Structure 1
Amino acid sequence: MFTAFNQVRTFLLAIFMIMAGGGFLSTLLAVRLENQGTAAPLIGLVGTAYFAGLTIGSMRIGRLIAQVGHIRSFAAFVSVFSASSLSYGLWQDVGFWTVLRFIDGFAVAGVFVCLESWLSERTDTHTRSLALAAYMAALYLGQAIGQFLLNIGQDAPVLPFMFSAILLSLALLPVVLTKVPQPEIGDLEPLSIRRLYAISPLGMLGTAATGLMLGAFYALAAVFVRQMEMSLSDVALFTSFAIGGGVLFQWPLGLLSNRFDRRRVIVAIFFAAAVVAVAIALFGANRALLFVLGGLFGGMAFALYPLCVSHTNDHIEPHERVGASGGLVLLYSLGAVAGPLVGSIAMAIFGPTGLFGTIGATASLATGFGLWRIYAAESVPDEDQSAFQSIPRTSAVALGEDEPTSEDR
């Protein structure tokens, strides 16, 4: 265990600092725009721009990294992200911030590919799961802690952006000074949508639905909390509770899926997420209950992506695994692009409860589709079901090429 950690500690520190410095920006921007009286669909557009940049970046930056190397590429991406975070303080305008969020998404995609391909290179079949778990813990911990930077901008509105730029700039140091050899990035060709659906309809649709749910949540949860007449500190706590719930629930639910039909576990979690989302919409005005429900929602929603990937892996050949993961990352990203737009339109029509009403409706539709798949197709035998692996919803390169086959398991 300690060997796996030591091999990637540089990257764990880097991703922690990057998420602490940049992970709260979506919440901060949503709050600032909401305070300014910006319409919900325009706030959703800003959130969509980030996921659009993330999607396009994940498909395009591999070639750039291959040309100039990981260290130069990482330094360039983080520098752009740092400069962009400072630029928000220059002019509070929806159009300007939309462009900056697209740039942020593109830069973050480069950061993810750089760090995760390095992580894959430094680990093998036996240590990769532990390294990925540590990587995700560092990512979510940084994102949760960073939310509390929301509270420092009351007297100096530009201060949170300055702290963001400082943390992002310091995140360069562990990587640019590392002596760890740089890996090579091969061409990653995602499996086609048609092929993914043929392999695993529930895995494909479940991934897209999860992207829509979490894309809407990340972009608009802060607006929901503020429109429920709660404070900026409550926004930070609610978001942190959701992220913390995601960390706490992911492994227990994953282990549960190893013991039972994974489709049934996925359907049960979608159903539970729908119930919790509706409960937030109905009882979100209760401050204490909101935090508890936020933790439960994060626990359900954050587990769905790795479960859908694991379910897809139950139906594919080992050599297709990285390509399938690339296709699922793309589907998740496309869902996340749509989520802020759909959620913001619902908020404009139904008020703040429209956000979690949309999330609940999406989870309910996924539940219905999953029940149909359970009825229409046989389950994978327990002995052929792949072991659950907690993986990030960021890029496919962290999986590497040497995952164990079913025979190894």
Structure 2
Amino acid sequence: MLQVLGSVWALLLGLMLLMVGNGIQGTLLGVRGEIEGFSTLSLSIVMSAYFVGFLGGSRLAPELIRRVGHVRVFAALASFISAVLILYPSFANPWAWTVERMIIGFCFSGVYVTAESWLNNSATNETRGQVLSLYMICQMVGIVAAQGLLLVGDPSGFILFVIPSVLVSISFAPILLSISPTPAFDTTKPMSLRALYQASPLSIVGVFLLGGAFSAQFGMAAVFGTQAGLTLPQISIFIAAFYIGATLAQFPLGWLSDRMDRRRLIMLVALVGGTGAGLGALALGSFPMLLLAAFVIGGASNPLYSLLLSYLNDFLEPEQMAAGSGGMVFVNGVGAIGGPLLTGWVMSMIGPAGFFLFISALLLIMTAYALWRMTQRPAQKIEDQGAYAAVLMQSTPVAVGAAQEWAIESADEENDQ
């Protein structure tokens, strides 16, 4: 592991700084929006715009890279990110923020595609699994660290918007100065949604619902915190709890997924997450209970993405997996667009508890659907299941494709033994 880290530390450092910069701006807007007097519905539109841009960037950035190259795309998108981060406090208007969030979502998506391409290119067949694990850890460390940065300045001022701008600018240095060569870029056209649904209805329906649940917690957690009367330190700890839970649960659930019927595990994890969210709605006056609810939701929702992706792989040929992963990213992105919008609407109707109730409803619907699907198709034999592909929902198709490639290689090695 240390040898692998020594070869990719510069890339991982750059990617972690990107996650810090992106993580703080998402939380900060929720807090600053409340200070500016934005309505819950207005903030939900602002938060949803990020996922519109991110989905568009994941589709269009590869073509931009093929046309003008990684370095030019990197530099251009970096300029837009830095400009938008400074513009947020300069024009505190919900419609201006909506456009800016869409732009910054597009730019971050393109930047992640470029950086993840470099990272994947620097890995070998023997080290790809370790590199992916290190990348997941850096992603989570970056997002958790971002929440701590909220405490170093006043959210009503400018300094907290300057910090992510500086971090994003610095993040490009280790990536662009890395000795890793510029990677060749090639993408696979996603499978049709009909073909994906026919292969695994549970994976497609599940990842759509999960997109809404994840974007709700990613985009609206800070809005919930301000409406629930949490202090700024409490909001930062509350949001960090989602990602700490996700980090700690990912690999134990991956171990279980290779040893039991994945549908049963998907159902159980969704049930635990939905129940945890429901309890959160009943415990608004208890901060420790809110932290527990956030920890449980994060520990369920993030690994569910990997479980659904791995379950889809069980019904695809190896040569179809890369195309299948692209389709899964698209379906997840479509679901993510509606998450903040619907959460904001529910919160505007019934108050802060709507944040937890919306997430709970989506996860419990997934639970019920998984249970129904278990009656429609016989369970696979455990030995016929493919390897678990661990990946986070905020990754682009490049990282998801790398996880798929590693899963295929692992399956091939097991078949050869």
Work out whether the TM-score is over 0.5: yes
1:260 aligns with 2:260: yes
Pairing 1:52-91 to 2, within 5 Å after superposition: 52-91=52-91
Deviation at 1:111, TM superposition (A): 1.2
Deviation at 1:292, TM superposition (A): 2.1
Query: What corresponds to 1:153 in structure 2?
Result: 153
Query: What corresponds to 2:250 in structure 1?
Result: 250
User: Secondary structure, in 3 states, of the residue corresponding to 1:220?
Assistant: helix
Deviation at 1:404, TM superposition (A): 1.9
Determine if contact 1:40/1:347 at 8 Å carries over to the other structure: yes
Instruction: Please tell me the residue identity of whatever aligns with 1:37.
Output: G
- Report the Cα distance in structure 1 between the residues aligned to 2:59 and 2:223, rounded to whole angstroms: 30
User: Secondary structure, in 3 states, of the residue corresponding to 1:126?
Assistant: coil
Pairing 1:55-204 to 2, within 5 Å after superposition: 55-154=55-154, 157-204=157-204
Query: What corresponds to 1:395 in structure 2?
Result: 396
Determine if contact 1:246/1:301 at 8 Å carries over to the other structure: yes
Pairing 1:159-308 to 2, within 5 Å after superposition: 159-308=159-308
Instruction: Please tell me the residue identity of whatever aligns with 2:265.
Output: V
Runs of at least 4 residues of structure 1 off by over 6 A?
Answer: none
- Report the Cα distance in structure 2 between the residues aligned to 1:367 and 1:98, rounded to whole angstroms: 33
Determine if contact 2:302/2:392 at 8 Å carries over to the other structure: no
User: Secondary structure, in 3 states, of the residue corresponding to 2:374?
Assistant: helix
- Report the Cα distance in structure 2 between the residues aligned to 1:91 and 1:299, rounded to whole angstroms: 36
User: Comparing 137-146 with 291-300, which one deviates more in the overlay?
Assistant: 291-300
Instruction: Please tell me the residue identity of whatever aligns with 1:270.
Output: A
Instruction: Please tell me the residue identity of whatever aligns with 1:177.
Output: L
Deviation at 1:155, TM superposition (A): 7.6
- Report the Cα distance in structure 1 between the residues aligned to 2:176 and 2:118, rounded to whole angstroms: 13
Distance 1:103 1:155, change over 3 A: closer
- Report the Cα distance in structure 1 between the residues aligned to 2:411 and 2:156, rounded to whole angstroms: 56
Deviation at 1:192, TM superposition (A): 1.0
Q: Deviations over 1:260-298 (max 9, x none)?
A: 101100110111111000011111320122112211211
Deviation at 1:35, TM superposition (A): 2.6
Unmatched 5+ residue regions in structure 1? none
TM-score, with structure 2 as normaliser: 0.95
Q: Deviations over 1:357-393 (max 9, x none)?
A: 1111111111111001111101221111112121132
Deviation at 1:2, TM superposition (A): 2.8
Instruction: Please tell me the residue identity of whatever aligns with 1:51.
Output: F
Q: Deviations over 1:318-349 (max 9, x none)?
A: 01111111111111111110100111110111
User: Secondary structure, in 3 states, of the residue corresponding to 1:147?
Assistant: helix
Deviation at 1:39, TM superposition (A): 1.7
- Report the Cα distance in structure 2 between the residues aligned to 1:338 and 1:45, rounded to whole angstroms: 9
Deviation at 1:3, TM superposition (A): 3.4
- Report the Cα distance in structure 1 between the residues aligned to 2:290 and 2:155, rounded to whole angstroms: 27
- Report the Cα distance in structure 2 between the residues aligned to 1:241 and 1:261, rounded to whole angstroms: 29
Instruction: Please tell me the residue identity of whatever aligns with 1:385.
Output: Q
- Report the Cα distance in structure 2 between the residues aligned to 1:107 and 1:240, rounded to whole angstroms: 24
Say which of 387, 404, 408 aligns to 2:409: 404
- Report the Cα distance in structure 1 between the residues aligned to 2:183 and 2:370, rounded to whole angstroms: 39
Determine if contact 1:250/1:299 at 8 Å carries over to the other structure: yes
- Report the Cα distance in structure 2 between the residues aligned to 1:381 and 1:181, rounded to whole angstroms: 42
Query: What corresponds to 2:45 in structure 1?
Result: 45
Distance 1:203 1:125, change over 3 A: farther
Query: What corresponds to 2:25 in structure 1?
Result: 25
Distance 1:155 1:216, change over 3 A: closer
Instruction: Please tell me the residue identity of whatever aligns with 1:338.
Output: G
Backbone CA RMSD of aligned residues:
1.5
- Report the Cα distance in structure 2 between the residues aligned to 1:164 and 1:395, rounded to whole angstroms: 21
Determine if contact 1:44/1:341 at 8 Å carries over to the other structure: yes
Determine if contact 1:259/1:382 at 8 Å carries over to the other structure: yes
- Report the Cα distance in structure 2 between the residues aligned to 1:285 and 1:65, rounded to whole angstroms: 49
Deviation at 1:5, TM superposition (A): 2.4
- Report the Cα distance in structure 1 between the residues aligned to 2:326 and 2:366, rounded to whole angstroms: 21
User: Comparing 155-164 with 325-334, which one deviates more in the overlay?
Assistant: 155-164
Instruction: Please tell me the residue identity of whatever aligns with 2:98.
Output: T
Determine if contact 1:239/1:294 at 8 Å carries over to the other structure: yes
Instruction: Please tell me the residue identity of whatever aligns with 2:396.
Output: S
Q: How many residues align?
A: 409
User: Secondary structure, in 3 states, of the residue corresponding to 2:90?
Assistant: coil
Query: What corresponds to 2:384 in structure 1?
Result: 384
Instruction: Please tell me the residue identity of whatever aligns with 1:379.
Output: A
Query: What corresponds to 1:357 in structure 2?
Result: 357
1:7 aligns with 2:7: yes
User: Secondary structure, in 3 states, of the residue corresponding to 1:379?
Assistant: coil
Determine if contact 1:20/1:167 at 8 Å carries over to the other structure: yes
Q: Deviations over 1:156-195 (max 9, x none)?
A: 6111001111111111110221221111111331111111
Query: What corresponds to 2:327 in structure 1?
Result: 327
User: Comparing 326-335 with 181-190, which one deviates more in the overlay?
Assistant: 181-190
Distance 1:129 1:407, change over 3 A: closer
Instruction: Please tell me the residue identity of whatever aligns with 1:395.
Output: T
Instruction: Please tell me the residue identity of whatever aligns with 1:138.
Output: C
Determine if contact 1:276/1:296 at 8 Å carries over to the other structure: yes
Determine if contact 1:70/1:182 at 8 Å carries over to the other structure: yes
Unmatched 5+ residue regions in structure 2? none
User: Comparing 18-27 with 116-125, which one deviates more in the overlay?
Assistant: 116-125
User: Secondary structure, in 3 states, of the residue corresponding to 2:409?
Assistant: coil
- Report the Cα distance in structure 2 between the residues aligned to 1:222 and 1:298, rounded to whole angstroms: 15
